[in-house]
């Protein structure tokens, strides 16, 4: 019985500590520099929270190449990225440990990735943002504050919420 209680306490402590580090609306978004594959195929290191143009909102979608909901989100995010391109930078962050798996994913879905993809094989960004499941989307304002967070497939309702934030 004592071992069972200790095991339960350890499990609660482990899950509790993971949630304690999850970023939420109002928190500052950390700068994590990752290798990025641009929509044109070029590569560079880049801070994932930095917009392409001053004053833009940044949308970060954390995904896994093996996540079916992430694949379902691809056409939604791609169309939305095209719609908001003048006011926002959209960036996907692949959190798989296998770089070849991520690169194959980017290659396979290149026609749906009209935005940059950062490779987080060391899971530095995943840990810094407290991502526990995919897909998870963060919307950051120009001061790098988290305005919006959503886990799961995006609905039209979610997109309208994000549109309203971008319009402010």
**Digit-coded pLDDT (tens) for 25-56:** 999 999 999 999 988 889 999 899 999 999 99
Q: Given this model, what pLDDT does residue 114 score?
A: 87
On whether the CB atoms of residues 78 and 47 are closer than 8 A, the answer is no
Q: Given this model, what pLDDT does residue 168 score?
A: 82
Query: Is-cis flag, bond preceding 135, omega within 30?
Result: yes
Q: What are phi and psi of 13, to 5 degrees?
A: -65, -40
Q: Given this model, what pLDDT does residue 122 score?
A: 95
Q: Given this model, what pLDDT does residue 18 score?
A: 42
Answer whether residue 21 shows pLDDT above 80: no
57 membership: H or E segment, kind and range? strand 57-63
Q: What is the rounded distance in angstroms from the CA atom of residue 52 to the CA atom of residue 58?
A: 9
- The proportion of the chain whose per-residue pLDDT surpasses 90, expressed as a percent, equals 79
Q: Given this model, what pLDDT does residue 33 score?
A: 96
Distances in Å between the alpha carbon of 47 and those of 15, 32, 51, 139?
28, 5, 9, 15
Query: Among the residues of 45-138, which ranges form H helices?
Result: 68-84, 99-108, 124-129
Among candidate residues 52, 58, 28, 43, the one with its CA nearest the CA of residue 128: 28
Answer whether residue 128 shows pLDDT above 80: yes
Name the average pLDDT for the chain. Answer: 88
pLDDT tens track for 75-119: 999 999 999 999 999 999 999 999 999 999 999 999 999 899 999
Answer whether residue 7 shows pLDDT above 50: no
């Amino acid at each position: 019985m004592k071992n069972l209680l200790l095991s339960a306490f350890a499990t609660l402590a482990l899950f509790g500590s993971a949630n304690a580090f999850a970023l939420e609306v109002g928190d500052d978004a950390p700068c994590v520099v990752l290798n990025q594959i641009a929509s044109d195929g070029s590569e560079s290191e880049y801070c994932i929270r930095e917009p392409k143009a001053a004053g833009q909102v940044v949308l970060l979608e954390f995904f896994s190449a093996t996540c079916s909901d992430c694949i379902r989100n691809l056409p939604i995010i791609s169309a939305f990225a095209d719609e908001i391109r003048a006011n926002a930078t959209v960036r996907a962050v692949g959190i798989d440990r296998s770089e070849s798996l991520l690169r194959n994913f980017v290659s396979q879905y290149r026609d749906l990735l009209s935005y940059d993809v950062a490779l987080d094989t060391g899971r530095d960004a995943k840990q810094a943002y407290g991502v526990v499941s995919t897909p998870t989307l963060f919307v950051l304002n120009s001061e790098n504050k988290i305005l919006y967070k959503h886990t799961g497939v995006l609905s039209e309702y979610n997109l309208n919420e994000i549109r309203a934030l971008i319009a402010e």
